[in-house]
Structure 1
């Protein structure tokens, strides 16, 4: 049953998302072969992820979290408290490539979750569509251009554009800036992420 195991703490997991996933897998007493079978990902790919040689796509991370029975929020290392200072946003790892992400809401907040993504040109969630276990997603482009593939349609969002959609809608996103600058995006999820699922 999901949630019956306690995941290792941030200190126990190490820095990279691969090291964190490996520590969780070992705490579950699962082999790479077992995790590969449960997640639908190859053993070779998982080995590279665990050694931080490749970053998993968001969809792959969803599959791994589901197979390991952990919440995506396991990878969010925000300190408890209501204020998150602008010069101390907690960095989170949420899969994808060419981007950095920061948690703007306190870790224990479950009603809503705000995430800031700084996405380099061509970076994003990866090619495989994914869904999140949340009711609604709100996307606001602070700077740059973001292409969102949503339910078979491609939407390009410019600076100042916003998009709202159901969390169970399969989607991907990519930064498509022309001048080489990063795209900065605010994501708001309601309710906050709990147990992930694949899409």
Structure 2
């Protein structure tokens, strides 16, 4: 049973399985409609360098793109960036790139910036960004190789080469931040906004 009160389903402008599971588990019925934008081109053109600003920009652009295709609908766009100091990470292109990312992150504290934006009729109604701090434990070459062997192709689907809801949990010694931010969709501020629009029954 859904707690969504809108006359039309909420739209999630994302292909992310983790984000879709988060919404579904929270009792929200929705439609997934990925945004057709070139994220790297949008980022480059913006000139932004702060990871939180980049995440919010991309979340907004995704929400706006889908909103323009689906008039009258509430659309949630989301994006996440990983920053180690001044260095931003993208999804690794293959096993070698995943191993390189893990080598850079091991034994250090990095940040995940998770942003979302809600749009309707080509206008942003609300946007927010949350941060989680992740401390990865030191990893031997053997541990890294064993992890990559077990995780398989999944390491190429997430920035940082890990998914905390899966085998990636074994890589960490400390996590500061809420579960939803880490998985890429900060549900608490999102639901607070949707309640203010009288779109949730709980």
| Length-normalised TM-score, structure 1 | 0.25
Q: Answer with 1 or 2: which has the greater Rg.
A: 2
